[in-house]
Amino acid sequence: MKSCFHCKKPVDIARPGRGDACTHCGSDLKVCRNCAFHDRDSYNECRETSAERVKDKDKANFCEFFEFRETDAAQKTDDPFKNLKDLFK
């Protein structure tokens, strides 16, 4: 399942273009934060070593390595502190 990085709602686009936006919140879809290669701990926050640096990870870009990230429905939660709370049960 693919979902928007901003609103976390499901998206029905397999490979978004630079002009595509989320139908729920209007956020750009072809952004680093929706990409399978995006990793905050990697150099330039991208695991694709050939990709050019993108400063604004939330805005549409021209990256040719973009692959829409698959999200796990089981990981989605409304409570951001759920995992932390589970530690102390």
Count: domains in the chain: 1
Total-model pTM: 0.74
Rounded Cα–Cα distance for residues 73 and 70 (Å): 9
Look at residue 39 in the predicted model and tell me its pLDDT: 94
List alpha helices for 1-89, DSSP H. Answer: 82-87
Half-sphere exposure of 30 (CA within 13 A, CB side): 14
Look at residue 74 in the predicted model and tell me its pLDDT: 47
Residue ranges for the chain with pLDDT beneath 50: 74
Domain coverage including residue 66: 1-89
